[in-house]
A and B are shown apart, each in its own frame.
Chain A
Amino acid sequence: GQNIDQPTEMTATEGAIVQINCTYQTSGFNGLFWYQQHAGEAPTFLSYNVLDGLEEKGRFSSFLSRSKGYSYLLLKELQMKDSASYLCAVRDSNYQLIWGAGTKLIIKP
């Protein structure tokens, strides 16, 4: 079966750095996505990785290792507004998106 694993919940301190991991087992791979979802709101796109390596976008970076079936989202200089759920999704060989259950990130002052 296809599976996306990410931690259920993480806590970090304002101003710090946090890394959210995502491991996947899917039938084929055609890209990995990270979305942010604030409570009661829609998911919004953060990043897309299709090749191995690090993609940096401001305070957020996303890393991919296809051979290890592994990705992480790195958030720097955490702000209170970063409190949200972070969803990892993989596009499989049929171009269908497989979603993880999300990681709830709690930022403390």
Chain B
Amino acid sequence: IAGITQAPTSQILAAGRRMTLRCTQDMRHNAMYWYRQDLGLGLRLIHYSNTAGTTGKGEVPDGYSVSRANTDDFPLTLASAVPSQTSVYFCASSDSQSGANVLTFGAGSRLTVL
């Protein structure tokens, strides 16, 4: 089934630990995104990639890093997790060459940092 796969689904993590959230898409979309979703706030963009080999910073990039070695994969790394990074993380992708550039989202990764 075409779409986006995120892993893990949920994770509890001690503060200071390193964590990588995985994201893979099979739709050959050129653009990929990482968002965090917190209660009472809109989705906030962490990092994005318009094409393989390039990445850019979003609204809330501090404490996070990404890489885009190929079209399909876009992992998000928390180098040293802090409690304020407790959130639900959504990976998304889109064909940015299309008119509407509609985002398709993964199922999300719920991260709790203690």
Contact = CB atoms under 8 A, between A and B. Distances in A.
Interface of A: 4, 31, 33, 40-45, 48, 50, 87, 89, 91, 95-102
B26 to A, nearest CB: 16
Interface stretch (B12-20, B40-48, B68-76, B77-85): B40-48
Task: Summarize B's interface: helix, strand, loop or mixed.
Answer: loop
A29 to B, nearest CB: 14
Interface string B12-43: 00000000000000000000000000001111
Given A87-B43, A98-B42, A99-B43, A42 B102 contact: no
A95 B103 CA distance: 13
Contacts of A33: 100, 102
B52 interface: no
Q: Which 9 residue pairs spanning A and B have beta carbons closest together?
A: A99-B42, A42-B105, A99-B43, A48-B100, A45-B102, A101-B42, A43-B105, A42-B107, A100-B42
Interface residues of B, number: 17
B36 to A, nearest CB: 11
Contacts of A31: 100
A95 B48 CA distance: 12
A43 B90 contact: yes
